[in-house]
Structure 1
Amino acid sequence: MLEGIIMSEYFKKRKAKKQEIVQQVKEDKAKRKQRKQEIAAMPEADRKAAIVSDKQLRKEQKQQRKEELRSLSRKERRAAKKEAKRYKKIKNRPIRIAGWSVVGAVVLFAVVTVGPTVSSILGNMTGKHITIDTTNEEAVKAREAADVIAEEISDEGLVLLKNENNSLPLADKKINVFGSTAFGFKYAGGGSGASDLSRAVNLFDALNNAGIEYNKELYDYYAGLPELEEATGKGETGAVQVVKGMLGGDDEESGEPAVTADALAQAKEFSDNAMIIIQSDAVEASDVSADQLQLTDDMRALIEKVASNFSNVTIIVNAGNTFELGFVEEFPSIQSVLWVGTPGPFGTNSLAKVLSGEVNPSGRITDTYVYDLESSPASENFGDYKYENLDKAYLNYEEGIYVGYRFYETYYQGNEEGYKQAVQYPFGSGLSYTTFDWNVVSQQLNSESIELKVEVKNTGEVAGKDVVQVYYSAPYTPGGIEKSAINLATFAKTKSLNPGESETLTITYDTRDMASYDMANESYVLEKGTYEIKLGKNVHDIDRSLSYELPEEIVYNSDADTGTEYKNRFTQSENELTVLSRNDWEGTYPSDQDNSKVASDLVIERVQGHEFNNDVDMPITGADNGLKLEDLKGLDYDDAKWDKFLDQLTVDQMIDYVSDAAYHTTAIEEHGIPNTVLLDGPAGLNFFFKKFEAGAYPTEIVIASTWNKDLAYKMGESIGKEAKAYGVHGWYAPALNIHRSPLGGRNFEYMSEDPVLNGMIGGSMSKGAGDQGITVFMKHFIMNEQETNARSGILVWSNEQAMRELHLRPFEMTVKEAGVTGAMSSFTYIDGKWANPELLNGMLRDEWGFEGVVSSDAVFGFMEPQIAITSGNDLMLDILSVTKNKEQLQEAYDKHPEAVAVGLRNSMHNSLYATLKTYIFN
């Protein structure tokens, strides 16, 4: 009875507190709306001043809150943080409701629908239509080979960020492992980027494997704690992980168990070496918050206790998102910091080998590590923004080209003290157990190409690999074309060099790669002046600079490979953006307080409207020309024989083929068209709804942190061989989107904040798989850098220069360098259009010369097949509404027969051309 009364009172208080927070959210929302209206009514000059003033006020309030938290007791601080989390959760409730609605729609659709539709849904979700054999001898050998390459990648992808007094490798090979995190090591992220972890190596087994003795009494202490009962969790399918992400997780913070005085005393007797793993969790369909990338109070308390009792403390960063690491400078005993990311099932082996000295770390970070994760301009427009008069979310990329290091290196140019206060570890940072000297043996700098021969010599005492990073700084005219103060041009990695050994690297890139896009004149431009070619240990630590003088401006009006004339392709929206300019940092710095929540009539028209091109000839269908698909093997995409073959297809056959294309395509036996199997994912083959044994690799951020193109090729090649052994024909990977913000939920699945690094690593992975006869679906094309609202169709606004130089660049490089025959479009409305034809046909096919198939991402309600196939998106990756898709296409065909028939024919041409390139026809 008493217990019931107590519980009743508890829930009453909880409900009252919730109502109080809900009311506060409403009041704050009303105040923000009123302030926006006040600002909108101001003259232009006053409006800008008010935005700057409000932004400064928010910064001061944020700092004040931090100081207030520090003054509280630990118990009070935890309660305050918990309340702040509840506030944020209630504020962002529409996001989670959207997630619930997706799940509900799946269940409801399956319940109320009868007949073949239910069968189709269940077939798609259970994978009954997908036949793969993972048990044959070739498959087993392919998996074994994959495991070797996966560990090789994690060996090279781990990054040593700090190593005071050469504290690593460990001298006495004994270590105390503190914290529950060691029992729940993060091998991968969640969702379609997840991988098979059935062979994952336990951290403590890995330490044993490397000959490192860990404190077993300390291990037993942690293993016996009730808090660790669920620490390791159980494997889940990507679908389950995504649903969890959409639902927003739990209010409660599990906390880090305290270590007792007795356990601490025993550990001090065992060794003076201590290790603590800090982590963050990320999954597709959910972004992370800034506080998830900072130490919890409990973890800080543990670090404080360990750091005050041990002289050699190592921090392991086990996270796919950039973490705030400023705390490592507060404790002198934190001698070393080792970033492992989410390194795959054998990443623990790599970590142990680096600790022991068996492996010399050679990775470099792929993001800028700053003291304040929300100090970048992109963070000002990241989150939940909805139109008031349109059932859509939107996102303004007002930072323009100034993403990641491009902002920090440009904003703080000439202000080294300010830079050091903002940036802890610059992009490209990474240390080694040895030292290297560089010598530029020769240089050829001209208007066609930049070529450097760099001799790299190991001047230390142990073998190791080095990375030569090449950057450039282009001349900038204030008020002219926007330019970052520095940009990555290319890079090269040495082989393993023994002490005293040298290797000469030949590093080249096209001079026109340094051109900037001029929106005013719709062309790329190399402005005359001095170009500084910089060899860097990272983006900020430049070893030496070479000057190249360009006497006259060079204008590029057309694509170098296709000859297609450049033009601005994404300006139809007329969306008013204030894009960040280095010519006026203060006046143009982004603020979401300046966002217009009212969609213009033009925006609404673009979102809701679609033009069918009826001014085309009705193609022939159902002809009897006696051709099989194999008869076209080796023919060019535009060979006349394709027309004869495509004439044979009926409208019904084409509708069926493009509609039912989730993780497979269907056979049309009378024309010799085979079925194909198409699977995720970027860290190893997986099926979204069903687990199976497969090779598993580090996530893409770790692959990129190797800075090793040859190793990326080997990974793609290995996945290609494994796919062939299983009977898989297409690979939904690699993911080439950039890290626009540290808060991106899929940052572990993407490679870096830099488009060139993404393009070089992604292109190499794609080439490796493509050379095995696999259709590589590079994704997500384009601007899928936020998970919040993504699956409801988010409108992303940017300008042409930023889109071309950052967001399109890795895809362009992959098309041209790897010759991919597949792409996956994103959920995003680009320039107001989902499946934007200027993107899929104008840019991808016409300008870049792509020949192949475009699949949608997983289909949601706003993705209509008749729009897709008449805009350049060929296949619908749909598990729920195949029958509905067919009906929509048939209705569209009845109204617009010529336009839809031509669209279907083009989609079949694109899809079958890609299929014909696979190993099926070898």
Structure 2
Amino acid sequence: MLDVNIDDVIAVMQSLVPYLVGIAVLFVAGIVISFAVNKRTVQNAAVRKLVHGEAWIVVLLGAVIAVSMILTGPMQTLMDNASAPKQHLTQATIRKTNDLAVNIENEAITMLEDTDNVLPLKSSEPLNVFGWASTNPIYGGTGSGSLDGSYRTTSLLDGLHQAGFRTNTRLSDFYTKYSTKRGEIAVTSADWTLPEPPAEDYSSSLVDNAKQFSKTAVVVIGRVGGEGLDLPTDMHAKDVVYNNNSKKYEDFAPGQHYLELNRTEHDMLDLVTRNFDDVILVYNGANVFQMNFLKNYPQIKGVLWAPHPGQAGFKALGDVLSGKVNPSGRTSDTFLTDLKKTPSWNNFGDFPYRNVDEFKIDSARGVRSPRFVNYVEGIYVGYRFYETAAKEGLINYADEVQYPFGYGLSYTRFSQKMGRVSHDNGKVSFSVSVTNTGNKAGKDVVEVYYDPPYINGGIEKASTNLIKFSKTSTLQPGQSQDIKITFNDSDMASYDDKDAKAYVLDDGDYDISIRSDSHTVLDHQTVSVAKKDIYNTKSNTHNGDKQVATNRFDDARGNATYLSRANHFANYDTATAAPTDFDMSAKYKKNYYNNGNYDPKKFDKAGDKMPTMGAKNNIRLASMRGKSYDDPQWEKLLDELTFKDMDSLIANTGYQNPAIGSIGKIRLSDVDGPAALKDNFTKVGSIGLPSNVSLACTWNAELARDFGRTIGDMAHEMLVSGWYAPSVNIHRSPFGGRSFEYFSEDPILTADLASQQVLGAADKGVYSFTKHFVLNEQETQRNGQLCTWSNEQAIREIYMKPFEIIVKADGDAQGIMGSFNYIGNTYTSADPTLNQTILRDEWGFKGFVETDYFSGPNYSYQNADQIIRGGTDAMLATTKTTNHITDRSATSVKQMRRACKNILYTAVNCWRYEHGEPGTKTPAWRMAMYVVWGATAVLVLGLEAIAIIRFRKRRGEAQTAVTVEGEKTLNIENQE
């Protein structure tokens, strides 16, 4: 979702134009009347002055009325948001949240290398810290997920100092003098500059001083990403902006990407490794980094990945380096030797259609026409591809993968052993005994994978699939812990989108293994399924589905060729090649809609009857708290709503959902996430916790639950009801700009942690908006009518899976946020298959669905009429655009009624209603407007009185003057 940006400004200005034009017309009319009514056209001075005065009184009244219409119309949501009470966190909550941030980062920091046991370091020894990023590290991403700057931030160097390390101040001063900020990355533009002093700028005295200061060097490399823009895959592309660190050379050669070392960083590493034998590299970023350079630097003996720590988490880095904390992080993505060799490389970016002139729209943001992206890799995302490709002989694993998914080192050693695996009544269960066999206390992660039976040319299946994970408590040397593992055998089913068109658990042997990472097997056993199970009947649905899961997205498959395991990935080169077909087929054009060709009346149903509106049933919303979603009392409450009530509730749900006084519905505040609570209007924010990538690296569900509960605690103190999070899209490409918000390349790791966040917030009565539903894996052209093509198996097994698991964990009185893109040729928020058939009918979701940020005319395809028919309930709009309902047919009103029920059901079950109907208070801006109305009324009455008095006086004076003049004339005549 967008932070406040140019789209807000454009949308507001567009909505104000009619009113401003009206004020201008009145003003011009006043001037025209003032000049037109003069001594030549109207000789009577009293009348002339009265007309002038009345004209400007009308102008004043018209201006006040127009401004009032602006405030109560297109600006109402903005004014309500901006004038909301500003609540701040207590010191106790600040301390508690900071402690949690440190705990998360303690377990997020992942040790990738520890040659010669160079780590941990002795905190009593001084430390050289090289790299400009050491003085300007990455705390979080940019955009809606950025952090609030009003709280104290623990810097990377602060974290080292708190652990007892004394760092070389000459080095840190050297970096801060070079630059104090990195290039700015905003939602719509970016400066990708990576400040780093050239090696020649390091004086010999500075290097000599460093060698005398300490024998150890820590080097920090940082990368940042954010909403709106993906990370550059070619730093020399025409739209990529950055400044070189030297006039003597280019930082990046043509074709180099952002996630590899640049020339200046290479030179800096050369300098450091020439002068130090013990070097520790700290990578600070959320996206995986290409570390193939390590083989050239044997002096780099320790490598730590420190993903975004939030505002307090860098304390953990010092504690891990010193050994106070034993690292227990595991990679949430696969680190590759060459990021250009991912299956998605050629199909990630901007691909415009060339035959879509009829769908082009000239908006305030320029001419917009449809784009596309093909998810050609199918289910083979991340480690699923590399493990399967290695098994099939397509790749040499060691050449392609540097650090596997789920990989991480420790200062101690662990052993894991599986107990006997049982398979009874559809349940697979066993225990894993974890023992600390080393000499330091620490935590270990149990990772459970399955390898299903695969038939060449049959249902696509990866050879390695995470199915369960668990983290131990802190184990002392010699101590053991038994971890209980249980899952449904149906969790191992694959979706067959070709033949069965349903989930299928094939018969055969399923290899169940525990691994230290996706590639390294520690122990394994076999589960045999005697009979194939096809989940395609009402009495046999998949994993509790309310309806049978069957093909719903055949039209989203498009014309792409999808990667297949058949014949050892024989079609790899063909499937993963860059697209060559840039034409939208006639088939997809036929049902393609944007604001240029969508007419709601074409979709009205003749048999629909107009629902009741405006009834006087005297039912208050608070009385519905805790009642079933299907309670008949809801219908009586909904009968009370007028068309205006419903339209306001649906159209004005940007960062809030508005009040409806007639039923006791108060205004509720919904704010940005995902690492914090961030009110873009009151400018009050919470403390920023570590990013979801950091949480994913902990592999700790308990920490995720604590994360959600802490969000809930902060929400109470900030009077916030809804949280625009968690973000659960998949790391399809390493270059996703918003990867810091998302968890992982794996849907199970993502789902199990995110669902705990949702449950934790729900423990406090805060509803979450899980986002972005669905197939929103790139920022490039995300709101440029982006048609996303994928096959049903990948959609269900990879991209929808986190949403499904979260909904089934707690789909009651929660939220879902849509995505900007199209799924196939249908805008996701206007897709009834997605938002009704799948989400509600199949999964059983109860709550409300909201669009991503609504800027209809600017994006050229968002309009409320189509969206409510597509199963979405609310527009994340802050000003009047195309977010209001224009079609008042029975079909439209029925959809409005459905949408309002979903919003109200969620609202009444949040914490704000837990003690009955909350009190209401008129917003300050409305009070000010009423005062202005009163003052204007008094002023106008006063001006009218003055005008009348002056008119009468002038008319009397004129009559007296006429009488006197007449008498003078008569006297003259008499004298004559």
TM superposition score category, shorter chain reference: 0.7 to 0.9
Matched, 1:892 2:887: yes
Matched, 1:474 2:452: yes
SS of the equivalent of 1:543 reads strand
* Paired residues for 1:267-416 under 5 Å: 267-290=210-233, 291-390=257-356, 391-413=369-391, 415=393
Residue 130 to residue 477, structure 1, CA distance change in 2 (3 Å) = farther
* 1:651 paired residue among 619, 630, 643: 643
Counterparts of 1:420 and 1:130, CA distance in 2 = 58
Matched, 1:141 2:92: yes
SS of the equivalent of 2:761 reads helix
Offset of residue 528 of structure 1: 1.0
Cα shift readout 1:429-463 (whole Å, capped 9, x = no counterpart): 01111111112234323451111211111111111
* 1:549 paired residue among 520, 528, 539: 528
User: Which residue is equivalent to 1:170?
Assistant: 121
Offset of residue 863 of structure 1: 1.1
SS of the equivalent of 1:852 reads strand
SS of the equivalent of 1:246 reads coil
SS of the equivalent of 2:275 reads coil
Counterparts of 2:291 and 2:455, CA distance in 1 = 36
Residue 723 to residue 412, structure 1, CA distance change in 2 (3 Å) = same
Counterparts of 1:470 and 1:493, CA distance in 2 = 12
Offset of residue 112 of structure 1: 7.0
SS of the equivalent of 2:487 reads strand
Residue 263 to residue 702, structure 1, CA distance change in 2 (3 Å) = same
Residue 188 to residue 110, structure 1, CA distance change in 2 (3 Å) = farther
Greater Cα shift, 658-667 or 142-151? 142-151
Residue 255 to residue 220, structure 1, CA distance change in 2 (3 Å) = closer
Counterparts of 1:482 and 1:644, CA distance in 2 = 50
Counterparts of 1:753 and 1:127, CA distance in 2 = 39
* 2:837 paired residue among 826, 830, 842: 842
Offset of residue 206 of structure 1: 1.8
Offset of residue 140 of structure 1: 3.6
User: Which residue is equivalent to 1:822?
Assistant: 815
User: Which residue is equivalent to 1:578?
Assistant: 561
Q: Is the 8 A contact 1:130 1:664 kept in 2?
A: no
User: Which residue is equivalent to 1:161?
Assistant: 112
Offset of residue 377 of structure 1: 1.0
* 2:680 paired residue among 675, 688, 692: 688
SS of the equivalent of 2:474 reads coil
* 1:201 paired residue among 151, 154, 157: 154
Q: Is the 8 A contact 2:621 2:637 kept in 1?
A: yes
Offset of residue 148 of structure 1: 1.3
Counterparts of 2:470 and 2:296, CA distance in 1 = 35
Q: Is the 8 A contact 1:159 1:705 kept in 2?
A: yes
Q: What amino acid is aligned across from residue 535 of structure 2 in structure 1?
A: Y
Residue 570 to residue 143, structure 1, CA distance change in 2 (3 Å) = same
Counterparts of 1:682 and 1:215, CA distance in 2 = 35
Residue 116 to residue 280, structure 1, CA distance change in 2 (3 Å) = farther
Cα shift readout 1:155-185 (whole Å, capped 9, x = no counterpart): 1111011111111110353210012111111
Counterparts of 1:127 and 1:756, CA distance in 2 = 39
Q: Is the 8 A contact 1:446 1:511 kept in 2?
A: no
Counterparts of 2:883 and 2:793, CA distance in 1 = 36
Offset of residue 851 of structure 1: 0.4
Residue 673 to residue 594, structure 1, CA distance change in 2 (3 Å) = same
SS of the equivalent of 2:351 reads coil
Matched, 1:917 2:909: yes
Residue 527 to residue 315, structure 1, CA distance change in 2 (3 Å) = same
Count of aligned residue pairs for this structure pair: 803
Matched, 1:797 2:786: no
SS of the equivalent of 1:603 reads helix
Residue 860 to residue 591, structure 1, CA distance change in 2 (3 Å) = farther
Counterparts of 1:117 and 1:321, CA distance in 2 = 47
Cα shift readout 1:404-446 (whole Å, capped 9, x = no counterpart): 1111111111659811000000000011111111122343234
Percent of paired sites with the same residue: 35
Matched, 1:256 2:240: no
User: Which residue is equivalent to 2:494?
Assistant: 516
Residue 511 to residue 667, structure 1, CA distance change in 2 (3 Å) = same
Offset of residue 253 of structure 1: 5.8
User: Which residue is equivalent to 1:238?
Assistant: none
Offset of residue 387 of structure 1: 1.1
Offset of residue 595 of structure 1: 3.7
Counterparts of 2:444 and 2:684, CA distance in 1 = 37
Matched, 1:190 2:142: yes
* 2:659 paired residue among 667, 676, 700: 667
Residue 652 to residue 420, structure 1, CA distance change in 2 (3 Å) = same
Offset of residue 792 of structure 1: 2.1
Q: Is the 8 A contact 2:378 2:563 kept in 1?
A: yes
Counterparts of 1:708 and 1:780, CA distance in 2 = 23
Q: Is the 8 A contact 1:471 1:489 kept in 2?
A: yes
Offset of residue 566 of structure 1: 2.1
Matched, 1:210 2:163: yes
Offset of residue 193 of structure 1: 1.0
User: Which residue is equivalent to 2:592?
Assistant: 607
Cα shift readout 1:177-228 (whole Å, capped 9, x = no counterpart): 01211111100000111122432112222212101121223333333x3x22
SS of the equivalent of 2:376 reads coil
User: Which residue is equivalent to 2:616?
Assistant: 624
Q: Is the 8 A contact 2:120 2:322 kept in 1?
A: yes
Residue 126 to residue 687, structure 1, CA distance change in 2 (3 Å) = farther
Bigger radius of gyration among the two = 2
Cα shift readout 1:521-542 (whole Å, capped 9, x = no counterpart): 1211111111000100000011
User: Which residue is equivalent to 1:598?
Assistant: 583
Q: What amino acid is aligned across from residue 370 of structure 2 in structure 1?
A: K
Q: Mind listing any 5+ residue stretches in structure 1 that lack a counterpart?
A: 1-98, 234-240
Counterparts of 2:490 and 2:68, CA distance in 1 = 55
* 2:188 paired residue among 233, 246, 250: 246
Residue 791 to residue 918, structure 1, CA distance change in 2 (3 Å) = same
Offset of residue 101 of structure 1: 8.0
TM-score w.r.t. the length of structure 1 is 0.84
- CA RMSD in angstroms, aligned pairs only: 2.1
Counterparts of 2:701 and 2:410, CA distance in 1 = 19
* Paired residues for 1:448-459 under 5 Å: 448-459=426-437
SS of the equivalent of 1:751 reads coil
Q: What amino acid is aligned across from residue 828 of structure 1 in structure 2?
A: N
Residue 633 to residue 375, structure 1, CA distance change in 2 (3 Å) = same
SS of the equivalent of 1:723 reads helix
Cα shift readout 1:554-608 (whole Å, capped 9, x = no counterpart): 1111244243122211113562121100115242543454442111223223222
User: Which residue is equivalent to 1:87?
Assistant: none
Q: Is the 8 A contact 1:396 1:577 kept in 2?
A: yes
Counterparts of 2:517 and 2:409, CA distance in 1 = 10
Q: Is the 8 A contact 2:179 2:195 kept in 1?
A: no
Residue 688 to residue 285, structure 1, CA distance change in 2 (3 Å) = farther
User: Which residue is equivalent to 1:587?
Assistant: 571
Counterparts of 1:265 and 1:455, CA distance in 2 = 51
Q: What amino acid is aligned across from residue 249 of structure 1 in structure 2?
A: D
Q: Is the 8 A contact 2:121 2:323 kept in 1?
A: yes
Q: Is the 8 A contact 1:293 1:322 kept in 2?
A: yes
Counterparts of 1:717 and 1:407, CA distance in 2 = 35
Q: What amino acid is aligned across from residue 288 of structure 2 in structure 1?
A: T
Q: What amino acid is aligned across from residue 194 of structure 1 in structure 2?
A: S
Greater Cα shift, 845-854 or 140-149? 140-149
Cα shift readout 1:91-144 (whole Å, capped 9, x = no counterpart): xxxxxxxx98886566566567534575466665577456244336xx443232
User: Which residue is equivalent to 2:935?
Assistant: none
